[in-house]
A and B are shown apart, each in its own frame.
Chain A
Amino acid sequence: AQSVTQLDSQVPVFEEAPVELRCNYSSSVSVYLFWYVQYPNQGLQLLLKYLSGSTLVKGINGFEAEFNKSQTSFHLRKPSVHISDTAEYFCAVSEGGQGFSFIFGKGTRLLVKP
């Protein structure tokens, strides 16, 4: 069965500093990987996704992630964060198949401090 682990529940960082949010997954088959951002009392917005091909994926708002199959990881990075990046970030995995349902990690709250 597939699962997603986001080890850090909260990551505090100062404005303009780099940040990495970690995501590890487990699955017995090939997976599709996603990062979503959620602002308070809102739905989820897609940041980026990995389906196939290049393991370095670039998304919106300056975020990028690298798929590492051997380490079963899909860590999210940004070289310089802004106050507005403060939000909850969710990693999700899908094995495709019927329904293409997602399994979400528990989320990481990114707190950007001035």
Chain B
Amino acid sequence: GAVVSQHPSWVICKSGTSVKIECRSLDFQATTMFWYRQFPKQSLMLMATSNEGSKATYEQGVEKDKFLINHASLTLSTLTVTSAHPEDSSFYICSAREPTRLDYEQYFGPGTRLTVT
């Protein structure tokens, strides 16, 4: 149980285009999802917290107009990188919480590697 998937697993796009990454909770309803960014050999940096049916809460320094987050259902959150540039190349990981469980655990997706050329 508590499986989170991401799609695509990797994507290459040209500079200036937009890319959408999907995060799905497969066997539970996730009222809260998180988006992280991970640079090579570095830790995960929280980008934003996404709550179903409301606007995402972005961490300081994260451009909300560049990284559009939508959490339209209890099983799906999307991250759209708009007008991507090479510096946006990174590993993006989402996680989800199952609100009925009191273990405070986050379940992580397998990640999406974005390369902007």
| A binding-site residues for B, Cβ under 8 Å | 32, 34, 36, 41-46, 49, 51, 90, 94, 96, 99-107, 109
Contacts and interface: CB of A to CB of B under 8 A. Distances in A.
Contacts of B4: 43
A44 B49 CA distance: 18
| Most interface-central of A34, A94, A99, A109 (chain B CB within 10 A) | A99
Contacts of B113: 41
B104 A32 contact: yes
A105 B42 CA distance: 9
21 contacts: A32-B104, A34-B105, A43-B93, A44-B95, A45-B108, A49-B105, A51-B103, A51-B104, A90-B44, A96-B104, A99-B51, A99-B57, A100-B104, A101-B34, A101-B49, A102-B46, A102-B106, A103-B46, A104-B43, A105-B43, A106-B42
Nearest to A102: B106
Nearest to B46: A101
Contacts of B49: 99, 101
Given A43-B6, A96-B104, 16 more contacts: A41-B91, A41-B111, A42-B110, A43-B4, A43-B111, A44-B44, A44-B95, A51-B104, A99-B57, A100-B104, A102-B46, A104-B44, A104-B45, A105-B43, A106-B43, A109-B41
B49 to A, nearest CB: 5
A90 B109 contact: no
B56 to A, nearest CB: 11
| Most interface-central of A32, A45, A104, A109 (chain B CB within 10 A) | A104
Given A99-B32, A99-B57, A49 B111 contact: no
B97 interface: yes
A63 to B, nearest CB: 16
Nearest to B93: A43
A12 to B, nearest CB: 16
Interface in B62-117: 91, 93, 95, 97, 103-106, 108-111, 113
B43 A100 contact: no
